[in-house]
Chain A
Amino acid sequence: MSSLNDYKGPALSIAGLKKVYDNGHVALKGIDLEVTQGDFFALLGPNGAGKSTTLGIVSGLVNKSEGQVKLFGLDIEGDWYDAKRLLGVVPQEFNFNQFEKVQDIVITQAGYYGLTKKQAVEQSEKYLKALDLWDKRDVPSRMLSGGMKRRLMIARALVHDPKLLILDEPTAGVDIELRLSMWEYLQELNTSFGTTIILTTHYLEEAESLCHNIAIINQGDIVKNTSMRSLLEELHKQTFVVELQQAYPARPVLADLDVSWKDDQCFEVDVEKGTAINELFTVFNQAGLDVSGIRPKSNRLEALFVDAVRK
């Protein structure tokens, strides 16, 4: 493993990956994908697009039909032992024994990676504390809330200090406050410890906030693979949310603007990228509207995502 320190290639490289299930369904049509070391990478796609199949093959839960997958230059079949030691997986569904205690789950996972009991106890303490679960260490896992279960899966995936962490919808069903604290922790993991992270999520603002690079997969094909910045630059329009001082039941027509009223006191307006906000205010004044606030709509990625998967 000493050569890993000198390795400068991609954390994950996938070439010609194809998966045909026993029922004949073609889940992946021969995809190519690279994730650089230290990246925070988003793999997005609608349900059934092939995201989980791709990640399942990488993590050894799904058998591939064709193609090659390498983790830090190590083939997941030929060098499976070293490759798997570098990988941590947080799956979409809770997949731990509901009757086991929280710390036992993490310690057991450490044992599967060959950590001694002493190392396993130390590592479990480190990550359960980091993820604010230390007080629950002796509680059977079924007694945890949904958010705590998600954090337990992250602690379990990190117990052997992986170089690459795969997160398959880690914040599904998690409340906003907890989601933000998880984002913070994952960002710290990525920036301070250099852990490469691959994230799948249905919350597009999550991908936009966290990830540097993105691939969109649809019907077993990669339809976009670029940096988040370049993808967002593809947006020709910007959407602003406009809030008004009082209700306007008549909903006045605003000349030359693409407006969608949310209620009598709020509307969204799509404008060409680069349009000065002053110009907008001029139009609003001419229509006699008293504006109390204006802000950009946050989930800009949504439009691009829908566009990519509909092509």
Chain B
Amino acid sequence: MLFIRAYWIAFSTILSKEIRRFMRIWQQTLLPPAITMTLYFIIFGNLIGSRIGEMSGLNYMSFIMPGLIMMSVINNAYSNVSSSFFSNKFQRSIEELLVAPVPNSVILAGFVFGGVARGLLTGIIVTVVAVFFTDVQVHNFWVLSSIVLLSSILFSLGGFINALYANKFDDVSIVPTFVLTPLSYLGGVFFSTDLLPEGWRLLSEFNPILYMVNGFRFGMLGVSDVNLVTCYAILISVIVLLTIFSMRLLKRGKGIRS
């Protein structure tokens, strides 16, 4: 049982190192989402939103708020793991971990929960910003917290896989720019999928972010474009698949062992 205690200490060490890292550079990690989301609230919520009227029976500001929070959470969870793990690879400090008696599962968990920590902290910051613009409600706390937790785990895993494959810093920014941002914008953050033509609505059902945004929106406001059970099923299935894939990559030593 001694090794379980050692694994726990190793996990806490990786996690606290990750938290220390993003807190040390808070100007690059925590401040930008606060500023960006403030601008979103002002421009889309206040200036444009007032002319749009209601969406799914809610005023536009209230409608977009859960999506904007979720967008910050998933972007930050993803980029924390991808940039941190890649810079560990780049500086070769990942070797500190590889020579130590730390199993792959603990390495993965440490980095993933580092991403979750940043995602959740950013989510809290953006929620605090949102309080200045609209009435923040909690319809169902357990749905809200479980969806945000599962989403940040899922995107942290995505960031980890990205970092394993990345060979240069550009490779780390390609996915957020060309995949995450478009998927977030088309994932029901700013509009209800009911507004889409039939074909586009069917297509949007393949976008995992749609389920996260709507699940989170249900937790906050009690309205959703998707079924909650489908939402959980998709989140949990993708997490399981990405975990298995990450573990296989680690076992092979992809990007970290020659």
Q: Chain A interface (Cβ within 8 Å of chain B)? A: 21, 56, 59-63, 80-82, 84-85, 87, 89, 91, 93, 95-99, 104, 108-109, 111-116, 156
Contact = CB atoms under 8 A, between A and B. Distances in A.
Contacts of B6: 113-114
B121 interface: no
Interface residues of B, number: 29
Contacts of A60: 98-99, 257
A21 B7 contact: no
20 contacts: A60-B98, A60-B99, A63-B253, A63-B258, A80-B101, A81-B101, A84-B99, A84-B100, A85-B101, A89-B95, A95-B93, A99-B24, A104-B20, A108-B13, A108-B96, A111-B9, A111-B12, A111-B13, A112-B14, A112-B101
A173 B135 CA distance: 62
Contact of B96 (A80, A85, A112, A114): A112
A81 B3 contact: yes
A119 to B, nearest CB: 10
A112 B258 contact: no
Contacts of A84: 99-101
Contacts of B12: 111
Nearest to B88: A97
B96 A111 contact: no
Given A63-B257, A95-B91, A87 B99 contact: yes
Contacts of A109: 96, 100
A62 B95 CA distance: 11
B238 interface: no
Contact of B98 (A61, A99, A113): A61
A25 to B, nearest CB: 11
| Residue in A87, A108, A115 with the greatest tally of chain B CB atoms within 10 Å | A108
A184 to B, nearest CB: 25
Nearest to B12: A111
Given A81-B3, A85-B101, A109-B96, 18 more contacts: A56-B258, A60-B99, A61-B95, A61-B257, A62-B257, A89-B95, A91-B92, A95-B96, A97-B91, A97-B93, A99-B24, A104-B20, A112-B96, A112-B100, A113-B10, A114-B5, A115-B9, A116-B9
7 shortest interchain CB distances as A-B pairs: A114-B6, A111-B13, A112-B100, A95-B92, A84-B101, A81-B101, A89-B99
A95 B95 contact: yes
B143 interface: no
Given A95-B93, A114-B9, A59 B99 contact: yes
Contacts of B226: none
Contacts of B24: 99
A82 B101 CA distance: 8
B17 interface: yes
B19 interface: no
A96 B5 CA distance: 25
A111 B20 CA distance: 15
Contacts of A113: 6, 10, 100-101
A164 B50 CA distance: 70
Contacts of B97: 112
Contacts of A115: 9
| Residue in B10, B13, B92 with the greatest tally of chain A CB atoms within 10 Å | B13
B26 to A, nearest CB: 14
B61 to A, nearest CB: 40
Interface string B57-75: 0000000000000000000
